Amino acid sequence: MCSLEQHYSAADIETRILAGIRAAGLDTDRELSPAELGALDHFHTGGLQASRELLVMAKLAAEHQVLDVGAGLAGCARLLAAEVGCRVDCIEMSVDYCTGALLLNRLTGLEERIAVRQGSALEMPYPDNTFDAVWMQNVGMNIAPKQRLYSEIVRVMKPGGRFVFQEVVAGHVPLSYFPLPWATEPAHSHLVNTEELLSVLEGCGLVAERFEDVSDTQLGTNVANSTPAPEGQLGLKIFVDDLAEKAGNARRGLEEGQIRYVRGVFRLC
Ligand SMILES: C[S@@+](CC[C@H](N)C(=O)[O-])C[C@H]1O[C@@H](n2cnc3c(N)ncnc32)[C@H](O)[C@@H]1O
């Protein structure tokens, strides 16, 4: 799974992150910008660049209340809060990622605009009709009950709200290379193909404003944040074991038609 492969104490995880940031030459005594942390905290295909492109597609505004589902270290939430000025709620299953997200929010001075809650995307602790937009990057591939996931997303969205996402979907050939960045073994991977994804989204009342397969673009082929950063540079290696092997398997899977990368903006009608 994408969660940390080892559980750390809150103090350990903070120490680990701070050491990684300082080793990359960043001064943690000054306020850091979300972009400076981008190689560490955008844990998805295409990294920070993919988030920026999705942000342009999302057309969010400062007055919007946004939910980031499976927020990880909340890199996307900080990008939204800093560049759009909106308030972002994060829901994240892993306690360790929540601890890391809170630390990075503090280091970037964005803790007032970003709330982090530990919990499941399948049972979110928010009332109906709360959010103007729900953001989700590379999370659904770890969650088997798709109908329940997307129904829950729709439940917390206001009518007319937007669902903004990026996802890994199944290709026409079964997965065969493991470990992958999101699954060390087949039982942890829950990919559906594009048709199945669209069917469940539409069945939940979401209408596509934009939907695209980016597998063959630079974004899909440059598995940016899955490539181990060189020594002295910030990267996911702080958290993820065997990153080179996992990234290599994802690349082979893409080349051989086992996986595709898609993204979209859907409106709740
Ligand atoms: C590949 S990471 C993506 C993190 C973040 N969205 C990003 O793009 O940087 C997938 C995240 O989904 C979280 N996740 C997986 N299943 C979840 C669930 N049922 N509820 C909440 N979070 C979940 C994992 O803990 C992990 O942080």
Q: Where are the domains of the chain?
A: 10-268
What is the third-level CATH fold of 10-268? Answer: Rossmann fold (3.40.50)
The confidence score (pLDDT) of residue 137 equals 97
- Report the distance separating Cα 141 and Cα 155, nearest Å: 20
Q: What is the mean pLDDT of residues 190-199?
A: 98
CA of 71 to the centre of ligand 1 (A): 6
Is the pLDDT at 6 greater than 80? The verdict is no
pLDDT tens digits for range 13-36:
899 999 999 999 999 999 999 999
Q: What is the mean pLDDT of residues 141-163?
A: 98
- Report the distance separating Cα 18 and Cα 13, nearest Å: 9
- Among protein residues, the one whose CA lies closest to atom 10 of ligand 1: 139
Name every residue whose Cβ is closer than 8 Å to that of residue 196 and which is 6 or more positions away in sequence. Answer: 146
Among the atoms of ligand 1, which is closest to the Cα of residue 136?
Answer: 6
- Strand (E) or helix (H) holding 91: strand 87-92
Going by pLDDT thresholds of 50, 70 and 90, the confidence category of residue 224 is: very low
**Terminal alpha carbon distance of the chain:** 33
Going by pLDDT thresholds of 50, 70 and 90, the confidence category of residue 242 is: confident
Q: What is the mean pLDDT of residues 175-179?
A: 97
Name every residue whose Cβ is closer than 8 Å to that of residue 25 and which is 6 or more positions away in sequence. Answer: 232
Is the pLDDT at 74 greater than 60? The verdict is yes
Residue pointed to by tokens 């939430």 = 77
CA of 134 to the centre of ligand 1 (A): 14
- pTM, two decimals, is 0.94
Among the atoms of ligand 1, which is closest to the Cα of residue 44?
Answer: 8
Helices 47-58, 75-83: crossing angle, 10 deg rounding: 50
The confidence score (pLDDT) of residue 30 equals 97
Is the pLDDT at 221 greater than 80? The verdict is no
Among the atoms of ligand 1, which is closest to the Cα of residue 166?
Answer: 8
Q: Cβ < 6 Å from ligand 1: which residues?
A: 2-3, 42-44, 70-72, 75-76, 91-94, 97, 120-122, 137-139, 142-143, 182
Is the pLDDT at 225 greater than 70? The verdict is no
Is the pLDDT at 230 greater than 90? The verdict is no
- Among protein residues, the one whose CA lies closest to atom 7 of ligand 1: 43
The confidence score (pLDDT) of residue 217 equals 84
